[in-house]
């Protein structure tokens, strides 16, 4: 299958790796061909690191990268599947999907990796039906895919997406459209609450995370997890939850806004509530 992945950041690169590892051709798209090439190089470097640590065979890394390609926009015309993972912004996603709708063959399946937005609104005006295919970070490691049915997603497309998720080694759960779906509706307010606990001076960042790791057996605490997800992403999801419901329990802590404005986004920027070597 030819899969065109739009948005080559953390999620897009991981999705490309997963599809390529299962024998599919993965086209990586970013804001420009040069930028997509840089993301492809980064993916190759991360696989090479695995090889160097003895966690992956060189042949497997080469095999994956032989199927990850960077091409011009028009090459997506005959893709079997397009997955958009661009910025978590309705206008940006709709603009891209509109251009793809005009470009792609009738049979191309359209999927969105949105982490919180309405599939029904995103699909408005498209000839191609749209399904949610929500992956989790780090994509090669996390087993779940939330398969999201928007208001007009055909039942057969939901079924097809479930089967595809299984085929690429993931476990799908079918979710009806709701802001944040299942995981982010629970997990993102949890990260926000971690910041509230810090801001109230209850404990240090280190101790909040140790408490949740050792007290609940979570693999990482809420502040490290927000650093992994990216505080810009956490903030945009909190804002979607709040704007869709007007429920004050979804109000983003102002410290998160301040961190985002300061560019302290977490692991991807080198600094969040903790520091990371780039």
**β-pairing, 130-134 with 144-149?**
antiparallel
Q: Does 20 bind ligand 3HC (CB under 6 A)?
A: no
146 carries an active-site annotation = yes
> For residues 37 and 213, which CB has a smaller minimum distance to ligand 3HC in the complex?
213
Among residue numbers 101 through 140, which ones bind ligand 3HC (CB under 6 A)? 115, 136-138, 140
Question: How many other CB atoms sit within 10 Å of the CB of residue 277?
Answer: 4
Exactly one of 118, 146, 224, 253 is catalytic; which is it? 146
* 278 touching ligand 3HC, by CB under 6 A: no
Nearest distance from C-beta of residue 157 to ligand 3HC, angstroms: 21
User: Per-residue string for binding with ligand 3HC, 29-68, x by CB under 6 A?
Assistant: --------------------------x-------------
Which of 92, 210, 220, 254 lies at the binding interface for ligand 3HC (CB under 6 A)?
Answer: 220
Q: Single out the residue of 31, 277, 222, 46 nearest to residue 140, CA to CA.
A: 46
Asked if 107 is an active-site residue, the reply is no
Q: Nearer Cβ to ligand 3HC, position 76 or 212? A: 212
Minimum gap (Å) between residue 7 Cβ and ligand 3HC: 12
Name the packing angle between helices 205-216 and 183-199 (round to 10°). Answer: 130
Q: Is 9 or 138 the residue whose CB approaches ligand 3HC more closely?
A: 138
Does 201 contact ligand 3HC by CB under 6 A? no
CB burial of 191-223 (b: ≥16 within 10 Å; e: otherwise) equals bbebbbbbeeeeeebeebbebbeeeeeeeebbb
E strand or H helix that includes residue 146: strand 144-149
Q: Taking Cα atoms as reference points, which of 105, 108, 99 lies closest to residue 131?
A: 108
């Amino acid at each position: 299958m030819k899969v065109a992945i739009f948005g080559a950041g953390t999620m897009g690169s991981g999705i490309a790796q997963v599809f390529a590892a299962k024998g599919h051709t993965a086209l990586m798209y970013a804001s420009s061909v040069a930028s997509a090439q840089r993301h492809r190089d980064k993916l190759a470097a991360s696989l090479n690191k695995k090889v160097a640590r003895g966690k992956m065979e060189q042949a497997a890394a080469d095999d994956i990268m032989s199927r990850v390609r960077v091409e011009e926009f028009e090459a997506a015309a005959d893709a079997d599947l397009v997955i958009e993972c661009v910025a978590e912004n309705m206008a940006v996603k709709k603009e891209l999907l509109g251009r793809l709708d005009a470009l792609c063959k009738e049979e191309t399946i359209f999927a969105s990796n949105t982490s919180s937005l309405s599939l029904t609104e995103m699909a408005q005006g498209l000839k191609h039906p749209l399904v949610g295919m929500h992956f989790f970070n780090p994509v090669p490691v996390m087993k779940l895919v939330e398969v999201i049915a928007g208001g007009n997603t055909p039942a057969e497309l939901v079924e097809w997406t479930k089967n595809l998720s299984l085929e690429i080694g993931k476990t799908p759960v079918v979710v009806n459209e709701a802001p944040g779906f299942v995981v982010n509706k629970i997990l993102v307010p949890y990260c926000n609450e971690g910041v509230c606990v810090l801001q109230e001076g209850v404990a240090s960042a280190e101790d909040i995370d140790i408490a949740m790791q050792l007290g609940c057996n979570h693999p990482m605490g809420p502040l490290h997890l927000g650093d992994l997800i990216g505080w810009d992403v956490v903030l945009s999801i909190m804002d979607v939850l709040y704007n869709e419901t007007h429920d004050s329990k979804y109000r983003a802590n102002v410290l998160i806004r301040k961190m985002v404005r300061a560019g302290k986004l977490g692991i991807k920027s080198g600094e969040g509530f903790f520091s990371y070597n780039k």
